[in-house]
Chain A
Amino acid sequence: MNTGREDGRVVSGVTLPSLFGFARQPRPRVVGGSVGILSLRTLIGLLFCTLAGGVSAGSYFELPTQPPPAAYGNLLINRISVRNGIAPVVFPHWIHRARYTCRVCHIELGFNMAVNTTEITEKRNRHGQYCGACHNGKRSFGETDRHQCRRCHNGNRYVGEARFRKFAAGLPRTSFGNRIDWVKALHEGKIKPVRSLHPSAYKPLQFEKDLVLKAAWKMVPPAYFSHRIHDQWLGCANCHPSLFNIKRHTTRHFSMVANLNGRFCGSCHLRVAFPLDDCRRCHPKMR
Protein backbone atom coordinates (compact mmCIF):
# COMPACT_ATOMS: atom_id res chain seq x y z
CA MET A 1 0.00 0.00 0.00
CA ASN A 2 1.29 3.36 -0.97
CA THR A 3 0.23 6.37 1.04
CA GLY A 4 2.74 8.86 -0.25
CA ARG A 5 1.40 12.31 -1.00
CA GLU A 6 1.67 13.46 -4.55
CA ASP A 7 0.32 16.81 -5.60
CA GLY A 8 -1.16 17.17 -2.17
CA ARG A 9 -3.43 14.16 -2.60
CA VAL A 10 -3.08 11.01 -0.67
CA VAL A 11 -2.90 8.28 -3.21
CA SER A 12 -3.62 4.82 -2.07
CA GLY A 13 -4.46 1.67 -3.84
CA VAL A 14 -6.69 0.36 -1.08
CA THR A 15 -10.25 -0.43 -2.04
CA LEU A 16 -13.03 -1.56 0.22
CA PRO A 17 -12.85 -5.29 -0.54
CA SER A 18 -9.12 -5.38 0.01
CA LEU A 19 -9.59 -3.59 3.32
CA PHE A 20 -12.17 -6.10 4.41
CA GLY A 21 -9.75 -8.78 3.40
CA PHE A 22 -7.16 -7.21 5.64
CA ALA A 23 -9.60 -6.91 8.51
CA ARG A 24 -10.62 -10.56 8.35
CA GLN A 25 -7.09 -11.86 8.43
CA PRO A 26 -5.97 -13.25 11.77
CA ARG A 27 -3.74 -10.82 13.59
CA PRO A 28 -0.14 -11.59 12.61
CA ARG A 29 1.94 -12.64 15.58
CA VAL A 30 4.97 -10.51 15.94
CA VAL A 31 7.47 -12.59 17.73
CA GLY A 32 10.13 -10.14 18.64
CA GLY A 33 12.09 -7.11 17.74
CA SER A 34 10.84 -3.62 18.43
CA VAL A 35 11.44 -2.77 14.79
CA GLY A 36 8.84 -5.32 13.73
CA ILE A 37 6.25 -3.99 16.20
CA LEU A 38 7.02 -0.46 15.15
CA SER A 39 6.60 -1.18 11.48
CA LEU A 40 3.36 -3.03 12.13
CA ARG A 41 2.13 -0.08 14.19
CA THR A 42 3.15 2.32 11.47
CA LEU A 43 1.30 0.19 8.95
CA ILE A 44 -1.83 0.11 11.10
CA GLY A 45 -1.49 3.83 11.75
CA LEU A 46 -1.27 4.55 8.05
CA LEU A 47 -4.20 2.26 7.46
CA PHE A 48 -6.24 4.10 10.10
CA CYS A 49 -5.45 7.39 8.43
CA THR A 50 -6.62 5.94 5.16
CA LEU A 51 -9.76 4.57 6.77
CA ALA A 52 -10.44 7.87 8.44
CA GLY A 53 -10.49 9.42 5.03
CA GLY A 54 -13.34 7.17 4.17
CA VAL A 55 -12.61 4.71 1.44
CA SER A 56 -15.82 4.16 -0.42
CA ALA A 57 -16.06 1.18 -2.68
CA GLY A 58 -13.92 1.63 -5.73
CA SER A 59 -13.04 5.26 -5.05
CA TYR A 60 -9.90 6.77 -3.64
CA PHE A 61 -9.36 8.71 -0.50
CA GLU A 62 -8.87 12.37 -1.23
CA LEU A 63 -7.95 15.30 0.97
CA PRO A 64 -7.88 18.79 -0.49
CA THR A 65 -4.51 20.19 -1.41
CA GLN A 66 -3.09 22.12 1.48
CA PRO A 67 -1.79 25.57 0.62
CA PRO A 68 1.25 27.06 2.38
CA PRO A 69 0.58 28.07 6.03
CA ALA A 70 0.19 31.77 5.18
CA ALA A 71 -2.49 31.02 2.63
CA TYR A 72 -4.41 28.38 4.61
CA GLY A 73 -7.94 29.64 5.08
CA ASN A 74 -7.44 32.47 2.60
CA LEU A 75 -10.48 32.69 0.38
CA LEU A 76 -11.02 34.36 -2.93
CA ILE A 77 -14.52 35.74 -2.92
CA ASN A 78 -15.77 36.11 -6.45
CA ARG A 79 -19.51 35.89 -6.67
CA ILE A 80 -20.04 38.97 -8.83
CA SER A 81 -16.69 40.84 -8.61
CA VAL A 82 -15.13 39.82 -11.91
CA ARG A 83 -18.47 40.06 -13.67
CA ASN A 84 -18.62 43.67 -12.51
CA GLY A 85 -15.07 44.42 -13.61
CA ILE A 86 -13.19 44.34 -10.32
CA ALA A 87 -10.70 41.83 -8.93
CA PRO A 88 -11.96 39.13 -6.53
CA VAL A 89 -11.77 39.83 -2.82
CA VAL A 90 -9.12 38.06 -0.79
CA PHE A 91 -10.27 37.13 2.67
CA PRO A 92 -7.56 35.87 5.01
CA HIS A 93 -9.18 33.96 7.87
CA TRP A 94 -6.05 34.19 10.02
CA ILE A 95 -6.09 37.99 10.31
CA HIS A 96 -9.74 37.97 11.23
CA ARG A 97 -9.77 35.04 13.62
CA ALA A 98 -6.94 36.58 15.60
CA ARG A 99 -9.28 39.42 16.55
CA TYR A 100 -12.79 38.03 16.20
CA THR A 101 -14.26 34.62 16.93
CA CYS A 102 -15.95 32.69 14.13
CA ARG A 103 -19.28 33.51 15.73
CA VAL A 104 -19.01 37.23 15.07
CA CYS A 105 -18.99 36.87 11.29
CA HIS A 106 -20.78 33.57 10.87
CA ILE A 107 -23.68 34.32 13.19
CA GLU A 108 -23.86 38.02 13.94
CA LEU A 109 -22.96 39.25 10.46
CA GLY A 110 -24.73 36.40 8.69
CA PHE A 111 -21.87 35.08 6.58
CA ASN A 112 -22.56 31.59 5.23
CA MET A 113 -20.01 28.83 5.70
CA ALA A 114 -19.38 28.17 2.01
CA VAL A 115 -17.55 30.72 -0.08
CA ASN A 116 -19.54 32.68 -2.67
CA THR A 117 -22.89 31.72 -1.18
CA THR A 118 -23.34 34.87 0.90
CA GLU A 119 -25.00 37.58 -1.13
CA ILE A 120 -22.51 40.31 -0.30
CA THR A 121 -23.01 43.37 -2.48
CA GLU A 122 -21.42 46.77 -2.37
CA LYS A 123 -24.78 48.26 -1.45
CA ARG A 124 -25.21 45.95 1.51
CA ASN A 125 -21.66 46.70 2.67
CA ARG A 126 -22.31 50.40 2.48
CA HIS A 127 -25.42 49.92 4.59
CA GLY A 128 -23.37 48.35 7.35
CA GLN A 129 -24.04 44.71 6.52
CA TYR A 130 -21.44 41.95 6.05
CA CYS A 131 -17.89 43.39 5.64
CA GLY A 132 -19.31 46.86 6.04
CA ALA A 133 -20.20 46.16 9.66
CA CYS A 134 -16.53 46.64 10.57
CA HIS A 135 -14.95 47.99 7.39
CA ASN A 136 -16.65 51.32 7.70
CA GLY A 137 -13.71 53.58 8.45
CA LYS A 138 -14.38 53.40 12.18
CA ARG A 139 -13.69 49.89 13.44
CA SER A 140 -11.43 49.06 10.53
CA PHE A 141 -10.37 50.65 7.26
CA GLY A 142 -13.34 51.77 5.26
CA GLU A 143 -14.40 50.65 1.85
CA THR A 144 -15.47 54.11 0.87
CA ASP A 145 -11.89 55.37 0.64
CA ARG A 146 -11.03 55.10 -3.02
CA HIS A 147 -7.41 54.05 -2.60
CA GLN A 148 -8.39 51.29 -0.17
CA CYS A 149 -10.30 49.18 -2.74
CA ARG A 150 -7.28 47.10 -3.61
CA ARG A 151 -6.62 46.09 -0.03
CA CYS A 152 -9.43 43.56 -0.47
CA HIS A 153 -10.16 43.54 -4.20
CA ASN A 154 -6.72 42.33 -5.26
CA GLY A 155 -7.38 38.75 -6.31
CA ASN A 156 -4.17 37.52 -4.70
CA ARG A 157 -4.70 34.54 -2.44
CA TYR A 158 -1.10 34.61 -1.23
CA VAL A 159 -1.22 38.20 -0.01
CA GLY A 160 0.50 39.22 3.23
CA GLU A 161 2.97 36.34 3.66
CA ALA A 162 5.55 38.49 5.43
CA ARG A 163 2.90 39.81 7.78
CA PHE A 164 1.75 36.28 8.51
CA ARG A 165 5.27 35.09 9.35
CA LYS A 166 5.72 37.97 11.76
CA PHE A 167 2.34 37.28 13.32
CA ALA A 168 2.85 33.52 13.64
CA ALA A 169 6.32 33.82 15.15
CA GLY A 170 5.17 34.18 18.75
CA LEU A 171 2.30 31.69 18.63
CA PRO A 172 2.20 27.97 19.55
CA ARG A 173 2.81 25.69 16.60
CA THR A 174 1.15 22.64 15.09
CA SER A 175 1.91 20.66 11.98
CA PHE A 176 -1.16 21.43 9.90
CA GLY A 177 -3.18 24.29 8.47
CA ASN A 178 -1.76 27.67 9.40
CA ARG A 179 0.74 25.76 11.57
CA ILE A 180 -0.66 27.76 14.47
CA ASP A 181 -2.33 26.07 17.42
CA TRP A 182 -5.15 28.56 17.66
CA VAL A 183 -6.84 26.88 20.62
CA LYS A 184 -3.63 26.93 22.62
CA ALA A 185 -2.92 30.51 21.58
CA LEU A 186 -6.34 31.50 22.87
CA HIS A 187 -5.85 29.50 26.05
CA GLU A 188 -2.49 31.14 26.70
CA GLY A 189 -3.98 34.56 26.10
CA LYS A 190 -1.72 35.32 23.14
CA ILE A 191 -4.74 36.21 21.05
CA LYS A 192 -7.94 37.73 22.40
CA PRO A 193 -10.65 37.34 19.78
CA VAL A 194 -13.82 39.30 20.45
CA ARG A 195 -16.89 37.12 20.94
CA SER A 196 -19.50 39.65 19.95
CA LEU A 197 -19.73 43.04 18.30
CA HIS A 198 -22.14 43.99 21.06
CA PRO A 199 -20.54 42.48 24.14
CA SER A 200 -23.00 44.13 26.53
CA ALA A 201 -25.92 42.27 24.96
CA TYR A 202 -24.09 38.98 24.56
CA LYS A 203 -24.28 36.39 27.30
CA PRO A 204 -22.86 33.05 26.21
CA LEU A 205 -24.48 29.81 27.30
CA GLN A 206 -22.42 27.55 29.47
CA PHE A 207 -22.60 24.15 27.81
CA GLU A 208 -19.66 21.95 28.56
CA LYS A 209 -20.70 18.43 27.68
CA ASP A 210 -17.91 16.34 26.19
CA LEU A 211 -18.90 13.77 23.62
CA VAL A 212 -17.25 10.51 22.69
CA LEU A 213 -18.07 9.75 19.08
CA LYS A 214 -17.78 6.08 18.31
CA ALA A 215 -16.39 5.41 14.88
CA ALA A 216 -18.45 3.34 12.48
CA TRP A 217 -15.37 1.24 11.68
CA LYS A 218 -14.35 -1.10 14.46
CA MET A 219 -10.65 -0.48 13.94
CA VAL A 220 -10.85 3.28 14.38
CA PRO A 221 -10.67 4.60 17.95
CA PRO A 222 -13.39 7.08 18.95
CA ALA A 223 -13.26 10.79 18.31
CA TYR A 224 -13.53 13.17 21.24
CA PHE A 225 -15.55 16.31 20.92
CA SER A 226 -15.37 19.14 23.42
CA HIS A 227 -18.27 21.58 23.50
CA ARG A 228 -16.22 23.88 25.70
CA ILE A 229 -13.38 24.33 23.20
CA HIS A 230 -15.74 24.86 20.30
CA ASP A 231 -17.81 27.28 22.34
CA GLN A 232 -14.79 29.58 22.71
CA TRP A 233 -15.02 30.29 19.01
CA LEU A 234 -18.53 29.44 17.95
CA GLY A 235 -22.11 29.89 18.99
CA CYS A 236 -24.57 27.01 19.29
CA ALA A 237 -26.26 28.07 16.07
CA ASN A 238 -23.13 27.60 13.96
CA CYS A 239 -23.56 23.85 14.20
CA HIS A 240 -27.09 23.27 15.49
CA PRO A 241 -29.38 22.23 13.99
CA SER A 242 -28.09 22.49 10.44
CA LEU A 243 -24.94 20.37 10.84
CA PHE A 244 -25.75 18.29 13.89
CA ASN A 245 -29.05 17.50 15.56
CA ILE A 246 -29.38 18.55 19.17
CA LYS A 247 -30.81 15.24 20.28
CA ARG A 248 -28.18 12.62 20.97
CA HIS A 249 -27.61 9.87 18.42
CA THR A 250 -30.04 11.36 15.92
CA THR A 251 -27.55 12.94 13.56
CA ARG A 252 -27.67 10.85 10.44
CA HIS A 253 -25.30 10.45 7.51
CA PHE A 254 -22.41 11.61 9.69
CA SER A 255 -19.29 9.90 8.41
CA MET A 256 -15.70 10.61 7.57
CA VAL A 257 -16.61 10.59 3.89
CA ALA A 258 -19.18 13.31 4.53
CA ASN A 259 -16.57 15.29 6.47
CA LEU A 260 -14.23 15.02 3.53
CA ASN A 261 -16.97 16.31 1.27
CA GLY A 262 -17.11 19.46 3.35
CA ARG A 263 -20.11 18.53 5.41
CA PHE A 264 -20.46 18.10 9.21
CA CYS A 265 -16.99 18.70 10.77
CA GLY A 266 -15.69 19.28 7.27
CA SER A 267 -17.62 22.54 7.06
CA CYS A 268 -14.78 24.08 9.05
CA HIS A 269 -12.12 21.39 9.50
CA LEU A 270 -11.12 21.22 5.89
CA ARG A 271 -10.14 24.73 4.95
CA VAL A 272 -10.16 27.01 8.01
CA ALA A 273 -10.00 25.15 11.31
CA PHE A 274 -7.24 22.51 11.55
CA PRO A 275 -7.57 20.22 8.53
CA LEU A 276 -8.63 16.59 8.61
CA ASP A 277 -5.08 15.53 7.86
CA ASP A 278 -4.53 15.91 11.60
CA CYS A 279 -6.15 12.53 12.49
CA ARG A 280 -5.01 12.37 16.09
CA ARG A 281 -6.37 15.73 17.08
CA CYS A 282 -9.86 14.17 17.08
CA HIS A 283 -8.99 10.47 17.31
CA PRO A 284 -6.26 10.78 19.97
CA LYS A 285 -5.90 7.04 20.52
CA MET A 286 -4.99 6.45 16.92
CA ARG A 287 -1.60 4.83 16.78
Chain B
Amino acid sequence: MKGFIRVASILLVAGAVAARADTHGVPAHRPPPDEYGQVVMDNFATTSGIAAVRFDHWLHRSEYTCRVCHVDLGFAMQAGATRVREVDNRHHQYCGACHDGKEAFAVAPSGYDAESQKVCVRCHAVGERVTPRPDFYTFTEGFPKTLYGNRIDWLAAQRRGQIKLKDTVPGVTRRRRPIRHQGETVFAARDLQMPEIVFSHPKHAVWVGCELCHPAIFPVEPGADKISMQAIFEGRYCGVCHGKVSFPLDFDCRLCHTRDVY
Protein backbone atom coordinates (compact mmCIF):
# COMPACT_ATOMS: atom_id res chain seq x y z
CA MET B 1 0.00 0.00 0.00
CA LYS B 2 2.82 2.38 0.94
CA GLY B 3 4.55 1.64 -2.34
CA PHE B 4 1.33 2.30 -4.22
CA ILE B 5 0.89 5.64 -2.48
CA ARG B 6 4.49 6.57 -3.27
CA VAL B 7 4.11 5.68 -6.95
CA ALA B 8 0.77 7.47 -7.12
CA SER B 9 2.15 10.62 -5.53
CA ILE B 10 5.16 10.63 -7.86
CA LEU B 11 2.83 10.23 -10.84
CA LEU B 12 0.61 13.02 -9.51
CA VAL B 13 3.52 15.41 -9.06
CA ALA B 14 4.91 14.49 -12.48
CA GLY B 15 1.49 15.07 -14.01
CA ALA B 16 1.16 18.42 -12.32
CA VAL B 17 4.58 19.50 -13.55
CA ALA B 18 3.92 18.26 -17.08
CA ALA B 19 0.65 20.15 -17.32
CA ARG B 20 1.46 23.66 -18.39
CA ALA B 21 -2.08 24.93 -18.32
CA ASP B 22 -3.01 23.73 -14.92
CA THR B 23 -6.41 24.64 -13.64
CA HIS B 24 -7.27 24.25 -10.03
CA GLY B 25 -10.67 25.87 -10.23
CA VAL B 26 -9.84 28.70 -7.90
CA PRO B 27 -11.42 32.01 -8.87
CA ALA B 28 -9.05 34.78 -9.90
CA HIS B 29 -8.15 37.43 -7.37
CA ARG B 30 -9.09 40.86 -8.62
CA PRO B 31 -6.90 43.52 -7.04
CA PRO B 32 -8.40 46.89 -6.06
CA PRO B 33 -7.92 49.74 -8.55
CA ASP B 34 -5.12 51.38 -6.57
CA GLU B 35 -3.21 48.09 -6.37
CA TYR B 36 -3.58 46.90 -9.96
CA GLY B 37 -0.13 46.65 -11.51
CA GLN B 38 1.59 46.82 -8.16
CA VAL B 39 4.87 44.92 -8.11
CA VAL B 40 6.78 43.85 -5.04
CA MET B 41 10.52 43.64 -5.57
CA ASP B 42 12.31 41.60 -2.99
CA ASN B 43 15.46 40.03 -4.36
CA PHE B 44 17.76 41.30 -1.65
CA ALA B 45 15.74 43.71 0.52
CA THR B 46 14.26 41.60 3.31
CA THR B 47 17.34 39.40 3.54
CA SER B 48 19.34 42.61 4.09
CA GLY B 49 16.97 43.76 6.81
CA ILE B 50 14.97 46.37 4.91
CA ALA B 51 11.38 46.27 3.73
CA ALA B 52 10.67 45.08 0.17
CA VAL B 53 10.06 47.64 -2.57
CA ARG B 54 6.51 48.37 -3.60
CA PHE B 55 6.39 49.64 -7.16
CA ASP B 56 3.20 51.22 -8.45
CA HIS B 57 2.89 51.03 -12.20
CA TRP B 58 0.03 53.56 -12.24
CA LEU B 59 2.20 56.35 -10.89
CA HIS B 60 5.08 55.74 -13.25
CA ARG B 61 2.97 55.19 -16.34
CA SER B 62 1.26 58.51 -15.79
CA GLU B 63 4.56 60.20 -16.62
CA TYR B 64 6.63 57.81 -18.69
CA THR B 65 6.06 55.36 -21.49
CA CYS B 66 6.61 51.67 -20.79
CA ARG B 67 9.49 51.75 -23.26
CA VAL B 68 11.63 54.06 -21.13
CA CYS B 69 11.97 51.61 -18.26
CA HIS B 70 11.57 48.31 -20.05
CA VAL B 71 13.86 49.07 -22.99
CA ASP B 72 16.14 51.98 -22.15
CA LEU B 73 16.64 51.19 -18.48
CA GLY B 74 16.58 47.44 -19.01
CA PHE B 75 13.89 46.39 -16.58
CA ALA B 76 12.69 42.84 -17.23
CA MET B 77 9.02 42.12 -17.81
CA GLN B 78 8.70 39.72 -14.88
CA ALA B 79 8.61 40.97 -11.33
CA GLY B 80 11.85 40.18 -9.57
CA ALA B 81 13.70 39.10 -12.71
CA THR B 82 15.79 42.28 -12.95
CA ARG B 83 17.49 41.74 -9.60
CA VAL B 84 18.11 45.42 -8.91
CA ARG B 85 20.82 46.01 -6.31
CA GLU B 86 21.48 49.11 -4.24
CA VAL B 87 24.86 49.55 -5.88
CA ASP B 88 23.21 49.66 -9.32
CA ASN B 89 20.88 52.42 -8.22
CA ARG B 90 23.69 54.41 -6.72
CA HIS B 91 25.52 54.17 -10.06
CA HIS B 92 22.49 55.58 -11.90
CA GLN B 93 21.22 52.30 -13.24
CA TYR B 94 17.60 51.11 -13.06
CA CYS B 95 15.63 53.18 -10.50
CA GLY B 96 18.72 55.30 -9.94
CA ALA B 97 18.59 56.57 -13.53
CA CYS B 98 15.68 58.85 -12.59
CA HIS B 99 15.77 58.79 -8.80
CA ASP B 100 18.86 60.96 -8.70
CA GLY B 101 17.46 64.17 -7.26
CA LYS B 102 16.93 65.78 -10.67
CA GLU B 103 14.31 63.75 -12.52
CA ALA B 104 12.76 62.36 -9.33
CA PHE B 105 13.55 62.26 -5.62
CA ALA B 106 17.03 60.89 -4.97
CA VAL B 107 18.00 57.60 -3.44
CA ALA B 108 18.84 58.38 0.20
CA PRO B 109 22.51 58.81 1.05
CA SER B 110 23.98 55.88 2.92
CA GLY B 111 23.29 55.86 6.59
CA TYR B 112 20.52 54.93 8.90
CA ASP B 113 19.52 58.28 10.35
CA ALA B 114 15.88 59.30 10.62
CA GLU B 115 15.98 61.60 7.58
CA SER B 116 17.34 58.88 5.29
CA GLN B 117 14.81 56.44 6.65
CA LYS B 118 11.99 58.73 5.56
CA VAL B 119 13.26 58.62 1.98
CA CYS B 120 13.95 54.88 2.07
CA VAL B 121 10.40 53.96 3.05
CA ARG B 122 8.94 55.84 0.11
CA CYS B 123 9.89 52.79 -1.94
CA HIS B 124 10.84 50.19 0.66
CA ALA B 125 7.25 50.32 1.88
CA VAL B 126 5.96 46.75 2.07
CA GLY B 127 4.76 46.17 5.61
CA GLU B 128 5.72 49.68 6.71
CA ARG B 129 3.14 52.14 7.98
CA VAL B 130 3.51 54.72 5.23
CA THR B 131 0.82 56.61 3.39
CA PRO B 132 1.57 56.28 -0.29
CA ARG B 133 1.99 59.64 -1.95
CA PRO B 134 0.56 60.91 -4.11
CA ASP B 135 -2.79 59.39 -3.20
CA PHE B 136 -4.19 57.29 -6.05
CA TYR B 137 -7.73 58.64 -5.91
CA THR B 138 -6.71 62.30 -5.60
CA PHE B 139 -4.17 61.91 -8.38
CA THR B 140 -6.52 60.22 -10.83
CA GLU B 141 -9.65 62.19 -10.00
CA GLY B 142 -10.08 63.91 -13.35
CA PHE B 143 -8.90 61.00 -15.49
CA PRO B 144 -11.33 59.24 -17.85
CA LYS B 145 -12.63 56.10 -16.20
CA THR B 146 -13.14 52.48 -17.21
CA LEU B 147 -14.29 49.44 -15.29
CA TYR B 148 -11.12 47.36 -15.31
CA GLY B 149 -7.54 47.40 -14.09
CA ASN B 150 -6.81 50.73 -12.44
CA ARG B 151 -10.31 51.78 -13.62
CA ILE B 152 -8.55 54.48 -15.65
CA ASP B 153 -8.66 54.78 -19.41
CA TRP B 154 -4.96 55.45 -19.85
CA LEU B 155 -5.18 55.71 -23.63
CA ALA B 156 -7.90 58.33 -23.47
CA ALA B 157 -6.02 60.23 -20.76
CA GLN B 158 -2.98 60.32 -23.02
CA ARG B 159 -5.02 61.28 -26.07
CA ARG B 160 -6.72 64.13 -24.23
CA GLY B 161 -3.40 65.41 -22.96
CA GLN B 162 -4.23 64.81 -19.29
CA ILE B 163 -1.04 62.85 -19.01
CA LYS B 164 2.07 63.79 -20.95
CA LEU B 165 4.29 60.80 -21.45
CA LYS B 166 8.03 61.24 -21.50
CA ASP B 167 9.77 58.81 -23.81
CA THR B 168 13.31 59.75 -22.86
CA VAL B 169 15.57 59.78 -19.85
CA PRO B 170 18.27 62.43 -20.00
CA GLY B 171 21.66 60.82 -20.41
CA VAL B 172 20.25 57.39 -21.21
CA THR B 173 17.98 57.58 -24.21
CA ARG B 174 19.29 58.34 -27.66
CA ARG B 175 16.62 59.84 -29.86
CA ARG B 176 16.18 58.18 -33.22
CA ARG B 177 13.76 58.87 -35.98
CA PRO B 178 10.58 56.86 -35.43
CA ILE B 179 9.88 53.95 -37.76
CA ARG B 180 6.66 53.90 -39.70
CA HIS B 181 4.56 50.94 -38.63
CA GLN B 182 1.54 49.12 -39.92
CA GLY B 183 -1.82 50.46 -38.92
CA GLU B 184 -4.39 48.04 -37.66
CA THR B 185 -3.99 44.31 -38.09
CA VAL B 186 -6.91 41.90 -37.96
CA PHE B 187 -6.34 38.44 -36.52
CA ALA B 188 -8.86 35.70 -36.99
CA ALA B 189 -9.81 33.86 -33.84
CA ARG B 190 -9.39 30.12 -34.01
CA ASP B 191 -12.82 29.48 -32.54
CA LEU B 192 -15.45 30.26 -35.13
CA GLN B 193 -17.83 31.72 -32.60
CA MET B 194 -15.35 34.32 -31.43
CA PRO B 195 -15.15 37.74 -33.10
CA GLU B 196 -11.91 38.73 -34.79
CA ILE B 197 -9.17 40.59 -32.97
CA VAL B 198 -8.30 44.04 -34.18
CA PHE B 199 -4.77 44.90 -33.11
CA SER B 200 -3.71 48.51 -33.41
CA HIS B 201 -0.02 49.24 -33.86
CA PRO B 202 -0.49 53.01 -33.42
CA LYS B 203 -2.17 52.64 -30.02
CA HIS B 204 0.55 50.33 -28.75
CA ALA B 205 3.51 52.17 -30.25
CA VAL B 206 2.79 55.30 -28.19
CA TRP B 207 3.62 53.34 -25.06
CA VAL B 208 5.92 50.52 -26.05
CA GLY B 209 7.72 51.48 -29.25
CA CYS B 210 8.87 48.52 -31.35
CA GLU B 211 11.56 46.92 -29.24
CA LEU B 212 9.47 45.94 -26.29
CA CYS B 213 7.46 43.42 -28.30
CA HIS B 214 9.67 42.60 -31.28
CA PRO B 215 11.32 40.19 -31.64
CA ALA B 216 11.33 38.78 -28.11
CA ILE B 217 7.59 38.50 -27.54
CA PHE B 218 6.28 38.49 -31.10
CA PRO B 219 8.31 37.46 -34.16
CA VAL B 220 8.32 40.13 -36.86
CA GLU B 221 7.39 37.69 -39.62
CA PRO B 222 3.58 37.61 -39.81
CA GLY B 223 2.18 34.22 -38.90
CA ALA B 224 5.52 32.77 -37.79
CA ASP B 225 4.10 31.94 -34.35
CA LYS B 226 0.70 30.48 -33.69
CA ILE B 227 -0.61 32.54 -30.82
CA SER B 228 -3.22 30.84 -28.70
CA MET B 229 -5.42 32.31 -26.04
CA GLN B 230 -4.15 29.64 -23.68
CA ALA B 231 -0.58 30.88 -24.15
CA ILE B 232 -1.75 34.43 -23.51
CA PHE B 233 -3.48 33.38 -20.30
CA GLU B 234 -0.23 31.72 -19.26
CA GLY B 235 1.51 35.07 -19.53
CA ARG B 236 3.05 34.82 -22.96
CA TYR B 237 2.46 37.05 -26.03
CA CYS B 238 -0.16 39.70 -25.12
CA GLY B 239 -0.25 38.22 -21.62
CA VAL B 240 3.20 39.62 -20.88
CA CYS B 241 1.55 43.00 -20.19
CA HIS B 242 -2.19 42.42 -20.39
CA GLY B 243 -3.49 40.95 -17.19
CA LYS B 244 -0.68 42.36 -15.09
CA VAL B 245 -0.29 46.06 -15.90
CA SER B 246 -2.22 46.96 -19.03
CA PHE B 247 -5.90 46.10 -19.17
CA PRO B 248 -6.75 42.70 -17.71
CA LEU B 249 -7.67 39.56 -19.64
CA ASP B 250 -10.37 38.60 -17.20
CA PHE B 251 -12.72 41.48 -17.88
CA ASP B 252 -14.39 41.26 -21.24
CA CYS B 253 -13.27 39.36 -24.34
CA ARG B 254 -14.70 42.25 -26.35
CA LEU B 255 -11.82 44.51 -25.41
CA CYS B 256 -9.76 42.74 -28.10
CA HIS B 257 -12.26 40.53 -29.91
CA THR B 258 -14.06 43.47 -31.41
CA ARG B 259 -14.95 42.58 -34.96
CA ASP B 260 -17.98 40.33 -35.35
CA VAL B 261 -17.60 37.68 -38.00
CA TYR B 262 -21.28 37.05 -38.56
CB <8 Å contact, B147 and A198? yes
B24 to chain A, nearest CB (A): 6
**Contact segment of A113-121, A135-143, A216-224:** A113-121
Within 8 A of A (CB), among B134-153: 137, 147-148, 151
Known: A114-B27, A205-B194, A209-B193. A129 touches B250 (CB 8 A): no
Q: Check if B132 is an interface residue, CB within 8 A of chain A.
A: no
A124 part of interface (Cβ distance < 8 Å): yes
Cβ of A237 < 8 Å from any Cβ of B? yes
> Contacting A107 at CB < 8 Å: which of B23, B32, B195, B251?
B251
Chain A residues contacting B147 (CB-CB under 8 Å) are 107-109, 197-198
Give the Cβ gap from B128 to chain A, nearest Cβ, in Å: 18
- Please indicate the chain A residues that have their CB under 8 angstroms from the CB of B249 in the complex: 237, 241
The minimal Cβ–Cβ distance linking B250 to chain A, given in whole angstroms, is 4
Residue in A109, A112, A130, A207 whose beta carbon sits within 8 Å of that of B27 in the complex: A112
Asked if B30 is an interface residue, CB under 8 A from chain A, the answer is yes
Q: Which residues from chain A contact B26 at a C-beta distance below 8 Å?
A: 242-243, 263, 267
CA distance A241 to B28 in the complex (A): 9
In the assembled complex, the Cα of A243 lies from the Cα of B22 at a distance in Å of 10
- A119 to B147, alpha carbons, bound, how many Å? 16
Task: Annotate B193-208 by CB proximity to A: 1 below 8 A, 0 otherwise.
Answer: 1110000000000000
Q: Are A124 and B32 in contact (CB under 8 A)?
A: yes
Which chain A positions have C-beta within 8 A of B252? 107, 202, 235-237
Stretch at the interface among A63-71, A145-153, A245-253: A245-253
Q: Is the CB of B21 within 8 A of A247?
A: yes
Alpha-carbon gap, A85 to B172, bound state (A): 52
| Secondary structure type dominating chain B contacts | loop
Verify A203–B230 contact, CB threshold 8 A: no
Q: Which of B22, B27, B29 has the most CB of A within 10 A?
A: B27
Give CA–CA (A174, B172) in the complex, Å.
Answer: 68
Report the separation of the CA atoms of residues A85 and B31 in the bound assembly, to the nearest whole angstrom.
25
Contact of A117 among B29, B193, B228 (CB under 8 A): B29
| Binary contact readout A177-204 vs B (1 if CB under 8 angstroms, 0 otherwise) | 0000000000000000000011000110
What 0/1 pattern do residues 235 to 279 of A give for CB contact below 8 A with B? 111001111111100111110001100011011000000000000
Residue A84 interfacial (CB < 8 Å): no
Chain B residues within an 8 Å CB radius of A197 = 147
B49 part of interface (Cβ distance < 8 Å): no
Cβ 8 A contact of B23, one of A113, A114, A253: A253
B48 CB to nearest A CB, Å? 29
Q: Does A39 lie at the interface of the complex (its beta carbon under 8 Å from any beta carbon of B)?
A: no
> Which residues of chain B have C-beta atoms less than 8 A from A284's C-beta?
none
A246 and B229 within 8 A (CB):
yes
- Nearest chain B CB to A196's CB is how many angstroms away? 9
Which one of B28, B31, B195, B230 lies within 8 Å of A245 (CB-CB)?
B230
Q: Out of A127, A203, A267, name the residue touching B25 (CB < 8 Å).
A: A267
B237 beta carbon closer than 8 Å to chain A: no
Contacts of B253 in A (CB 8 A): 205, 236-237
Total number of A residues with any Cβ neighbor in B under 8 Å: 47
The reply to whether the CB of A27 lies closer than 8 angstroms to some CB of chain B is: no
Inter-chain CA distance A83–B120, complex, in Å, is 30
In the assembled complex, A123 has its CB within 8 A of some CB on chain B = yes
Q: Name B36's closest neighbour in chain A (CB-CB).
A: A110
Closest to A246 in B: B229
Q: Contact at A242–B254, with CB atoms within 8 Å?
A: no
> In the complex, are the beta carbons of B137 and A206 less than 8 A apart?
no
Taken together as a complex, chains A and B put the C-alpha atoms of A130 and B32 apart, in Å, by 9
Contact residue among B29, B194, B251, B254 (Cβ-Cβ distance under 8 Å from A203): B254
B35 closest partner in A (C-beta): A119
Interface presence of B233 (CB below 8 A) = yes
Q: Within B240-259, which residues are at the interface with A (CB < 8 Å)?
A: 249-254, 257
Measured in the bound complex, the distance between the Cα atoms of B254 and A242 in whole Å is 18
Instruction: Select A254's contact among B25, B233, B250, beta carbons within 8 Å.
Output: B25
CB-defined contacts of A237 to chain B, threshold 8 Å: 249-253
Asked if A111 lies at the interface with its beta carbon under 8 angstroms from chain B, I say yes
List A contacts of B23 (CB < 8 A). Answer: 241-245, 250-254
Give per-residue flags for B59-88: 1 if the beta carbon is below 8 A from chain A beta carbons, else 0: 000000000000000000000000000000
Interface centre among B151, B195, B228 (most CB of A within 10 A): B151
4 residue pairs, one from A and one from B, having the closest CB atoms:
A263-B25, A264-B25, A113-B27, A242-B28
> Contact residues of B with A, CB < 8 Å?
19, 21-35, 137, 147-148, 151, 193-195, 228-230, 233, 249-254, 257
Subset of 10 A-B contacts with CB under 8 Å? A110-B148, A117-B29, A205-B195, A241-B230, A241-B233, A241-B250, A243-B27, A246-B230, A247-B230, A263-B24
